[in-house]
Amino acid sequence: MLKQLRGLLRIMLALACGAIPVSVNAADAPAKPAAKQAARQASSKQVERGRYLVMITGCNDCHTSNFLTTGGKTPEKDRLTGGELGWRGPWGTTYPVNLRLFFQDMGEEQWIQLAKEIQRRPPMPYFSLNAMSAADLRAIYSYIRYLGPAGKAAPAFVPPDKEPPQPYVQFPKI
Give residues in contact with ligand HEC (CB under 6 A): 57-59, 61-63, 87, 94-97, 99, 102, 120-121, 123-125, 128-129, 140, 157
Instruction: Output the CA torsion 93→144→127→65 (10° steps).
Output: 30
Least distance between ligand HEC and beta carbon 90 (Å): 13
Closest distance to ligand HEC from the beta carbon of 75 (Å): 19
The H helix count followed by the E strand count for the chain is: 8, 3
- Nearest distance from C-beta of residue 43 to ligand HEC, angstroms: 19
Q: Apex CA 89: angle with CA 87 and CA 92, to 5°?
A: 80
Give me the least distance between CB of 130 and ligand HEC, in Å please. 11
Contacts of 172 (CB under 8 A, 6+ apart): 89
37 versus 128: smaller Cβ distance to ligand HEC: 128
The H or E element containing residue 89 is: strand 86-89
**Whether 98 contacts 154, CB under 8 Å:** yes
From residue 153, how far is each of 80, 101, 116, 139 by CA, in Å?
A: 11, 7, 24, 23
Q: Tell the smallest beta-carbon distance from residue 45 to ligand HEC (Å).
A: 19
Measured from the CB atom, the residue of 4 and 119 that comes closer to ligand HEC is: 119
Kindly tell me which of 10 and 121 has the beta carbon lying closer to ligand HEC: 121
Q: How many other CB atoms are found less than 10 A from the CB of residue 122? A: 14
Instruction: Please say which residue, 104 or 128, places its beta carbon nearer to ligand HEC.
Output: 128
The smaller minimum CB distance to ligand HEC, of residues 96 and 164, is found at: 96
